[in-house]
């Protein structure tokens, strides 16, 4: 009798489980597969600047640079200048070794600013004939020009002009005045754009 009651109780417990396992016909749905995304644009950012390739017009921007809406780095206009001053002995066009460093520096400057050209100006002291001094000043300018060319600068970027003894820097007839007026000078300003770096919390500000 006791065994019969146990079987009846177990049967009552199993029946709800069986009932819940059955599904009404109206509750059945067809399987719908997960849709595959159709990505039309390239969302990859190869240069890591935060602008995707699909609208990045500059695909190799320097790291940390400030960007415009096209993903290109912003530039700041900067300039630099350099002066050349070489002194000569009387009636001489020989460039002394002490001035060779200026020649090298000018050549390096012109390489850094490839769109820059210079005018090399030659001068002479009032000693001697004025016509000969004019030729002498031109020859001095030419030897300096040739020295810069020998350092790798294209000839068409360098022009010369001779002023002879018509524009003395130092007035008077002293040896000091003559020495200062036997010269070749040149000055140049180079312009270029430097990348403007983006400010962040790690940027150091000079004090």
Read off the pLDDT band of 200 (50, 70, 90): very low
Number of domains in the chain: 2
Assigned domain for 147 exists: yes
Rg of the chain on CA atoms, in Å: 42
Assigned domain for 170 exists: yes
Assigned domain for 22 exists: no
Is the pLDDT assigned to residue 5 strictly greater than 60? no
Assigned domain for 2 exists: no
In a shared domain, residues 157 and 55: no
CA angle 75, 81, 87 (to 5 degrees): 165
Domain, as residue range, for 111: 76-195
Say which residue, 98 or 7, is predicted with more confidence.
98
Mean pLDDT within 62-85 = 68
- The predicted-structure confidence for 33-66, as pLDDT tens digits, reads as follows 887 766 655 577 666 666 666 666 566 666 666 6
Contacts of 161 (CB under 8 A, 6+ apart): 119, 120, 121, 122, 138, 141
In a shared domain, residues 183 and 83: yes
Read off the pLDDT band of 154 (50, 70, 90): very high
**CA 4, CA 8: separation in Å to the nearest integer?**
6
Question: Shortest CA distance to 135 belongs to which of 148, 144, 122?
Answer: 122
How much is the pTM? 0.59
Question: Shortest CA distance to 162 belongs to which of 181, 140, 187?
Answer: 140
Say what the pLDDT of residue 31 is. Answer: 78
Check if the beta carbon of residue 90 is closer than 8 Å to that of residue 178: yes
Q: Write the DSSP string, 77-93.
A: EEEEEEEEEEE--TT--
- Measured between its terminal Cα atoms, the distance across the chain in Å is 99
- The predicted-structure confidence for 121-142, as pLDDT tens digits, reads as follows 999 999 999 999 999 999 999 9
In a shared domain, residues 98 and 146: yes
Say which residue, 16 or 86, is predicted with more confidence.
86
* Dihedral in degrees, nearest 10, Cα atoms 168, 170, 172, 178: -80
Say what the pLDDT of residue 22 is. Answer: 56
CATH of the domain at 136: 3.30.1330.60
In a shared domain, residues 50 and 148: no
Say what the pLDDT of residue 36 is. Answer: 73
Is the pLDDT assigned to residue 148 strictly greater than 80? yes
In a shared domain, residues 97 and 158: yes
Assigned domain for 31 exists: no
In a shared domain, residues 58 and 147: no
In a shared domain, residues 69 and 85: no
Read off the pLDDT band of 201 (50, 70, 90): very low
Question: Shortest CA distance to 56 belongs to which of 41, 37, 38?
Answer: 41
Assigned domain for 64 exists: yes
What's the token pair of residue 109? 């400057």
In a shared domain, residues 63 and 135: no
Question: To the nearest whole number, what is the mean pLDDT of the chain?
Answer: 77
């Amino acid at each position: 009798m006791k065994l019969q009651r146990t079987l009846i109780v177990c049967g009552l417990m199993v029946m709800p489980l069986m009932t819940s396992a059955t599904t009404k016909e109206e509750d059945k749905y067809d399987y719908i597969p997960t849709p595959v995304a159709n990505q039309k644009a390239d969302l990859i950012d190869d240069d890591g600047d935060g602008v995707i390739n699909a609208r990045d017009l500059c695909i190799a921007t320097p790291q940390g640079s400030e960007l415009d809406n096209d993903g290109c780095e912003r530039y700041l206009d900067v300039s630099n200048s350099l002066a050349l001053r070489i002194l000569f002995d009387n009636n001489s066009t020989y460039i002394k070794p002490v001035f060779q460093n200026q020649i090298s520096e000018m050549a390096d400057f012109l390489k850094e600013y490839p769109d820059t050209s210079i005018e090399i100006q030659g001068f002479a002291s009032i000693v001697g004939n004025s016509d000969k001094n004019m030729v002498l000043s031109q020859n001095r300018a030419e030897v300096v020009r040739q020295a810069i060319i020998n350092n790798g600068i294209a000839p068409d970027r360098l022009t010369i002009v001779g002023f002879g003894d018509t524009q003395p820097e130092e007035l008077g007839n002293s040896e000091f005045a003559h020495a200062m007026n036997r010269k070749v000078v040149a000055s140049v300003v180079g312009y270029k754009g430097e990348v403007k770096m983006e400010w962040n919390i790690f940027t150091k500000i000079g004090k």
